[in-house]
Amino acid sequence: MPAAMTELTDTTVDDRYRLLVDSITDYAIFMLDVNGFVSSWNAGANRFKGYTEAEILGEHFSRFYTEEERVAGTPQKALATARTEGRFETEGWRVRKDGERFWAHVVIDAIKDAQGQILGFAKITRDLSERKKAQEFLKRSEEQFRLLVESVTDYAIYMLDPEGYVSSWNAGARRIKGYAPAEIIGEHFSRFYTEEDKASYLPRTALEIAAKEGRFEREGWRVRKDGSRFWANVIIDCIRGEDGALVGFAKITRDITEKRQAQQALERAQLELFQAQKMEAVGQLTGGIAHDFNNLLMAVLGSLELANKRARAGKDNKELIDNAIQAAKRGAALTQRLLAFSRKQELKLEAVDVAAIVRGMAGLLQRSIGPSIQIATNFPLILPAANADANQLENGVLNLVLNARDAMPRGGIITLSARKYSIHKGDVNGLEGDFICLSVQDEGEGMDTATLDKATSPFFTTKGVGKGTGLGLPMVQGLMAQAGGALVLKSSPGKGTTAELWLPLAEPAQVESAPEVVPPASICRPLTVLVVDDDPLVLMNTVLMLDDLGHSAMGAASADEALVILEQGQLPDVVVSDQAMPRMTGDELAREIGKRYPQLTIILASGYAELPKGAALALPRLAKPFSQAELNEALASVITTS
């Protein structure tokens, strides 16, 4: 054994320190003599280097190095550094007994006596393999992430410092914005914004919002290097350190110009399609309604022309006049269908006995369908009242029965039935609560799915050109919707069709307060009535009806003319005014009269159910077209209540 090693071995070591060093297992702590031979060995060295004390004492420490480092003289250089500088420290690969490599942190300290003579070296080694693996994994992950970000070309992904200056730049940013990394790194990101946005401080606002809320997102115009604009989706995320301090921002920009253009093109196409559909609907309406109205006008004009000739000859005109009246009533019913279809018809909702309605229509229904078809009814003994407009419900039932008749050209049975049902939301067209289901079932050919889907579409009809307007079912559907119910059609080829009218139950208070049917009140005295209408034919007709009823009627062709008549002191008992007039509507005239002559009673006549937006007067209403009896009833109601 060399003399230096003998000298070091003979040195007395305190037993307590030896126990301390020997008990350490996380560090290899051992001594080398001046030449690098191992002179002591602790448990930690035994644990991760694999050598027992007996195996390694007296061996040179270079055996722990890799073959490449031994060839390069790394062990000798380490001792030389420790000898001259007093300490050597490094990290690198070391080799266990079994040949396995591990990453180690190594410290070699020179041990000197009081005179400064080198006695040997203290060597401490720590196994950092796990940390090295973690670092390498992190490094690989960061490199992969960097390569991922840099290779993305559909998104501009880059970093900003806390002030908004660009600190990184990927390939997508270069492709979309046009700048090379050398051109843009260190520049402020506001150069991507339009002049308008910069003038409104949008770049600064975006960073402030991102810093405050953690994220900023918006779409807008951005500017490329060549000055061209593109529509972008922009996201700015705030990046903070572990201490919460602002580190910078991650900015992602996507060019969605083509997407926006495609969306705009789609919207234009949808508008054009809507316009085309609207024009097609108008064409269908023109064909169907014009056909029916021409037939009605032919009946009215033909009857009146013949009545005029017979009157001159002194002959009886009753049959011709009745025919003209019936044709006019059919025209009024046609307009009511249009109003019902558009859900603009005024409904008088009240407690209605559905079974009684159907029984009362028995004669009309049978006459309408002819002798080859039978009508069967199926109603329970007790059926709660429904909340509906009795007249419109009759029209709806009649329409469904006529459709059922047309579906059975060879005859059959039409069954009308009703039941009470409690339904949950979503079971029947989104309805919920207690309803009466009145159904009309036929034994006709039925409809396939495509026809059934279009059955309630406006102007759709299977009856052929000139044989239907296609407004029957839409009318019924509109009535049901206004009443808070629904129309449901069920059909399949060869199995007939069932049309269901779902009507909400009447409230108990409605049933208790249902008014008795009483004849119109009579007027005990002649009235003075001012009629206001911009249509001279309607004005003259209304004045003549009032004269025939024994009243004194005055006519005004406009609201202004009516106000002039009133200012002259000719105050009537009642004013009957049209709603849709130029310059001043009936509602506006009523407001003006209310200010000047609050004692006057006003009846508003209109072909529409709804007053214009902003109208707030609760005025008596008279629906156009009205008969002399309806006019008389309206006058009687306002006189008896005034």
Q: Taking the C-alpha atoms of 25, 28, 33 and 39 in order, what is their torsion angle to the nearest 10 degrees?
A: 40
Q: What pLDDT does residue 12 have? A: 47
Q: What pLDDT does residue 288 have? A: 53
Q: Are residues 156 and 254 in contact, defined by beta-carbon separation less than 8 angstroms?
A: yes
Residues 291-339 pLDDT 10s:
556 666 666 777 787 778 778 888 887 777 877 777 677 677 666 655 5
Is pLDDT of 600 > 60? yes
Q: What is the rounded average pLDDT of the residues 111-140?
A: 83
Q: Are residues 186 and 165 in contact, defined by beta-carbon separation less than 8 angstroms?
A: yes
Query: What is the maximum span of the chain, computed from C-alpha positions, in angstroms?
Result: 163
Q: Which of 86-95, 579-588, 633-642 has the lowest mean pLDDT?
A: 633-642
Q: What pLDDT does residue 639 have? A: 82
Is pLDDT of 188 > 90? yes
Q: What pLDDT does residue 71 have? A: 92
Gap between the Cα atoms of 477 and 481, Å rounded:
6
More confident residue, 403 or 227: 227
More confident residue, 282 or 639: 639
Residues paired with 352 in a beta bridge: 386
More confident residue, 379 or 8: 379
The full 3-state SS of 151-169, as one line of letters, equals HCCCEEEEEECCCCEECCC
Handedness of CA 438, 444, 449, 453 (dihedral sign): negative
Q: What pLDDT does residue 333 have? A: 64
Gap between the Cα atoms of 596 and 280, Å rounded:
49
Q: What is the rounded average pLDDT of the residues 85-107?
A: 91
Retrieve residue 322's tokens. 């009745």
Q: Which of 14-23, 374-383, 423-432, 594-603 has the lowest mean pLDDT?
A: 14-23
Handedness of CA 563, 564, 565, 569 (dihedral sign): positive
Is pLDDT of 89 > 90? yes
Say if 3-133 and 152-255 have the same CATH topology. Answer: yes
Structure confidence at residue 538 as a pLDDT band (50, 70, 90): confident
Q: What is the rounded average pLDDT of the residues 37-54?
A: 88
Q: What pLDDT does residue 14 have? A: 52
Q: What is the rounded average pLDDT of the residues 497-512?
A: 82
Q: Domain boundaries in the chain?
A: 3-133, 152-255, 281-341, 350-512, 528-641
Q: What pLDDT does residue 262 have? A: 85
Q: Are residues 479 and 425 in contact, defined by beta-carbon separation less than 8 angstroms?
A: no
Beta strand ranges found along 331-485 (DSSP E): 350-352, 373-378, 386-388, 412-423, 433-441
| Fold of domain 350-512 | Heat Shock Protein 90 (3.30.565)
Say what the pTM is. 0.40
Q: What pLDDT does residue 7 have? A: 47
Gap between the Cα atoms of 316 and 322, Å rounded:
12
Q: What pLDDT does residue 217 have? A: 93
Retrieve residue 44's tokens. 């930690």
Residues 201-244 pLDDT 10s:
999 999 999 999 999 999 999 999 999 999 999 999 999 988 88
More confident residue, 294 or 26: 26
If DSSP codes are grouped into helix, strand and coil, which group holds residue 623?
strand
Is pLDDT of 467 > 50? no
Q: Which of 20-34, 88-102, 473-487, 510-524 has the lowest mean pLDDT?
A: 510-524
Q: What pLDDT does residue 269 have? A: 82
List CB contacts of 47: < 8 A, sequence separation 6 or more. 25, 28
Structure confidence at residue 614 as a pLDDT band (50, 70, 90): low
Q: In CATH, which superfamily holds the domain spanning 528-641?
A: Response regulator (3.40.50.2300)
Q: What pLDDT does residue 343 have? A: 45
Is pLDDT of 4 > 90? no
Q: In CATH, which superfamily holds the domain spanning 152-255?
A: PAS domain (3.30.450.20)
Q: What is the rounded average pLDDT of the residues 4-19?
A: 50
Q: What is the mean pLDDT of the chain?
A: 81
Q: What is the rounded average pLDDT of the residues 366-386?
A: 86
> Class for domain 3-133, per CATH?
alpha beta
Is pLDDT of 88 > 90? yes
Q: What percent of the chain has a predicted confidence (pLDDT) above 70?
A: 80
Is pLDDT of 633 > 70? yes
Gap between the Cα atoms of 451 and 456, Å rounded:
10
Q: Which of 84-88, 187-191, 419-423, 613-617 has the lowest mean pLDDT?
A: 613-617
